[in-house]
Structure 1
């Protein structure tokens, strides 16, 4: 009698300071553009489950907001999202740019539970020399009893996805698959669309505007040959609305064009995207408005 294949399934929280490279790493591992990527910090605002299959293991990655100080209610929500992910997982990936000091790692150790194993990933290693990289690895040896593994990684070059997924899967428990092996995320399509529109806002606006804006998906109509998405960009001030719209509406057109391209690449369908901008003063401090946009603050 043939023994049934033993499968593994588990959750892996991906954490680190803002702009540590979490979303870029996950898009690279999954092989699809699902998570918001920006060179600006604090782009990710809520947990996002992304699923990778590696041999007999189903790895459910949890992309999290960067660990940072609480300020507005929205920031409080973001920190709580990261903390919940670390408390509900089988393994933690702590991402830290190779140029960072070890203080970020010390802060992480103060937040995490010692019974949950973690792997340290030194990111953006393509930006430094081999000497600098080896020196940083040597510094981490003082903490070698804390982490399960220390792995230098670069999305642009270096280790393969297979090696990293194999290492991660060693810490995943034996368990039947939790989700259909064919799906890449447990998120609703409209939540992915929201993040891709937000990425376009980060791409074409600067200063405080991306951080004081968000996206509300008003309606999605899926048809055979083309999808229709109607969305509202919410901002905090009238001046921010003017910046997002731009002279003669050019900035909003660029945002819409960029977002449409990202969504079409994901859905493999033509898209009609209608964006409007609305001022909701103090939205990031208003529990009811935050809930409507998708952030429930306890």
Structure 2
């Protein structure tokens, strides 16, 4: 019998969750940004490991805030933690234990978890060992602790072998040929958002979102039309930029990401629209695809 189950990947904002998942699946699917709180919704990324299937759930960073969009993000992370067979908690090696201890409080169902020490490329082996010793005070809580170094040669197997040990015997939940349950238009949306984060500075990316208006697959090219949503007129001006340079940069960056994933040429047309206060309005959030239930 094969093993199969859901594994939620959680941690504080900017802990490296999406980067880890893209590395494990071998394709760029999850949105990655050096800025915190880029991931807003749960998404499934499917990894086959020998004869077993792991359904990783990418989640927003665990954090507390009063903004409605951020409350939705925290709710997404907590739901993922409660609905899975195993949790991978990502802890940057330079972090204090407070983030992990907060996670232990929020893990109300006491779902089994593996502790991954991330970003170990930036410290010495001695510092990694010292941090592992610090976590031993909670050794009765986690199943194992694994330092993760993508650059220094941690292999997929180091993590996946350990993950599979804790999954139930179960038939595959999804076709083993697919890498994600996300619709392509949702992935396109995240690529455009990622390009905004990479090309626009300060707080503006956090107050933007993207609506995919149209995806048309023609014989030789994909035609995608999308609208970037902002909250203020000044933000619209910055997204467009002088002589439309900023939006051209965003569009080119997103188009290249899309083409790399699909293997097809893409024509991407971007528009910008103002929707005042959408991050604070339940109806505004729902219209942008955020299923706010609280």
TM range (shorter): over 0.9
Q: Give the corresponding residue for 1:188.
A: 183
Q: Give the corresponding residue for 1:43.
A: 38
Q: Give the corresponding residue for 2:129.
A: 134
Report whether the alignment pairs 1:174 with 2:169. yes
Report whether the alignment pairs 1:208 with 2:203. yes
Q: Give the corresponding residue for 2:2.
A: 7
How far does the alpha carbon of each residue in 1:43-67 deviate from its partner, in whole angstroms, 9 at most, with x for none?
Answer: 0000010000001210000000000
Report whether the alignment pairs 1:221 with 2:220. no
Q: Give the corresponding residue for 1:281.
A: 276
- Pick the aligned partner of 1:71 from 61, 66, 70: 66
C-alpha displacement at 1:155, in angstroms?
2.3
Q: Give the corresponding residue for 1:58.
A: 53
* Structure 2: gaps (5+ residues): none
Q: Secondary structure at the match of 2:30?
A: coil
Question: Aligned partners of 2:12, 2:110: CA distance in 1, in Å?
Answer: 22
Report whether the alignment pairs 1:30 with 2:25. yes
Is 1:24–1:155's contact at 8 Å kept on the other side of the alignment?
no
* Structural RMSD (CA): 0.8
Is 1:51–1:61's contact at 8 Å kept on the other side of the alignment?
yes
Q: Give the corresponding residue for 1:93.
A: 88
Is 2:29–2:187's contact at 8 Å kept on the other side of the alignment?
yes
Question: Aligned partners of 2:131, 2:260: CA distance in 1, in Å?
Answer: 38
Q: Secondary structure at the match of 2:87?
A: strand
Is 2:82–2:109's contact at 8 Å kept on the other side of the alignment?
no
Question: Aligned partners of 1:224, 1:110: CA distance in 2, in Å?
Answer: 53
- Pick the aligned partner of 2:286 from 281, 287, 291: 291
* TM-score normalised by structure 2 residue count: 0.98
Q: Secondary structure at the match of 1:120?
A: strand
Matched residue count: 293
- Pick the aligned partner of 2:257 from 262, 284, 298: 262
C-alpha displacement at 1:158, in angstroms?
2.9
Map 1:112-151 → 2, pairs under 5 A: 112-113=107-108, 115-151=110-146
C-alpha displacement at 1:8, in angstroms?
1.1
* Structure 1: gaps (5+ residues): 1-5
Q: Give the corresponding residue for 1:107.
A: 102
Q: Secondary structure at the match of 1:185?
A: coil
C-alpha displacement at 1:149, in angstroms?
0.5
Report whether the alignment pairs 1:164 with 2:159. yes
* TM-score normalised by structure 1 residue count: 0.97
Is 2:213–2:226's contact at 8 Å kept on the other side of the alignment?
yes
Q: Secondary structure at the match of 1:218?
A: strand
